[in-house]
Structure 1
Amino acid sequence: MRRKDREITDRSVIESILNNAEVCRIALADENEPYIVPVCFAYEDNTIYFHSAPAGKKIAMLTKNPRCCVEVDRSSGPIKSDNPCKWEMQYQSVICTGTARILTGYAEKCAAMNAIMRHYGSKDHPFTEKELENVCLVKVLLGGMTGKSYGY
């Protein structure tokens, strides 16, 4: 990290950002084509869960190459100065790398979907197998994790 003065080294702060972010962006690569997409998600136990339609570009890319990058952030906007070249952005961000796996079993899918429900403030739901039939749930086991902050 170039700006060591902005690095977050406290794991609990990094996890707090992950637990409170509203949107997660998943970055994927397929040969020479990068792709990034926002998703609803949850973070639990060094793992990101997200859901998707069972088919599409994101799932096709993850099937071909399960390595991915995850990004979450929060911002309170710019910190202005009289000199526009000295403006800064007040932010906290976390970037993680990991390996994705599409969940197939009912118990795994139900647990992942309920983690996502809890992340957005809902209680667990007794999903039926039929309800989860047409939903793709993905587990990203995280390898690396870095955080950065300014103005907080």
Structure 2
Amino acid sequence: MLRSMLEAFKNLFKPVRTIQYPAEDIVLPNGYRGLIEYGIDECIFCDKCEKVCPPGAILFYQHEGGEKEYRYNPWLCIYCGECVRACPKPEEALWQSETKQRSAVKEDGANEGWFVYEDACKKSRQRYVEAKKADKIQNKSEE
């Protein structure tokens, strides 16, 4: 107890180490891993980023015509960078920007819409696979 009181007393005379945010801007350290940025023109839609994402913050929606739609949830992302490492075109199709992460302000229903979208993505892929199988069967029967 005496030891902790002595430590508390010493801390009274040490300089303050906190940042006076928002009056002072926060300086980001080298190697800062910020928000995930996506380049739709460079993406080859290999789905590697979706497969390696630990929390499942990246999803691809499969449209009927075969094209895919990229979707990213920054509130679910843990900014680990696995998606960028797995990307065959890093710095072109997928990269981590030095943009500051969004604040942890609670938004009503922020993830509820994401879970609905997650189910829609799974169902879209199932429909796409079933449609491909049906086309294959139809092509064989026509021959």
TM-score when scaled to structure 2?
0.30
Name which structure has the greater RCO, CA cutoff 8 Å, separation 6+: 1
Higher helix share: 2
- Find the structure with the greater CA-based Rg: 2
TM-score when scaled to structure 1?
0.29
